[in-house]
Amino acid sequence: MPVEKRVPYRSSFYGDWHRRTLPKYCRMSDADWFEVRDETIVACIETIVIPQMFIDEAQKIYPIFSQEDWKTKALVLKEIHKKMNLPVLIVRHTSDCKRFALSYVTPSGDETEQQVMTEEAFQHVLVSLRHR
């Protein structure tokens, strides 16, 4: 049974305010999703919507850690992986969520090679996440 959506949209008001108001050295990064099981966080997930035609080459066409504007995001994801001992998934997906390109952040902060999968295969990955 689907879970009811609690927030109808993602606001950027805070992000806009933060960038406009604070000094440059005060950087921020949002965390897209935390996967939770029985009040325990089991993974952090960074999602990127990409066009269907690019799913097989998603990691090459939409790199995240090599882009200048993603440096803070890469640092945050690496620290979550290291300090919280959580798997960090990078999920590039089509807008209809029928195809997924999944990779992981490694302990050194790199990204593993993507695995392209169907909706069912990705569901299996998420369902299989467990408490440590």
Backbone torsions φ then ψ of 118, nearest 5 degrees: -80, 170
Query: Which two structure tokens, joined as six digits, stand for 91?
Result: 């999920």
Q: Is the pLDDT of residue 6 over 50?
A: no
Q: Where are the domains of the chain?
A: 31-127
Strand pairing of 99-104 and 115-118? antiparallel
Nearest to 27 by CA among 82, 76, 77: 76
pLDDT digits (tens, 9 = 90+) for 103-126: 999 888 888 999 999 999 999 999
Rounded to whole angstroms, the Cα distance separating 101 from 94 reads 9
Q: Which residue is associated with the tokens 């090459």?
A: 60
Question: Average pLDDT in the 2-22 region?
Answer: 69
Q: Which residue is associated with the tokens 């295969």?
A: 121
User: Global pTM?
Assistant: 0.81
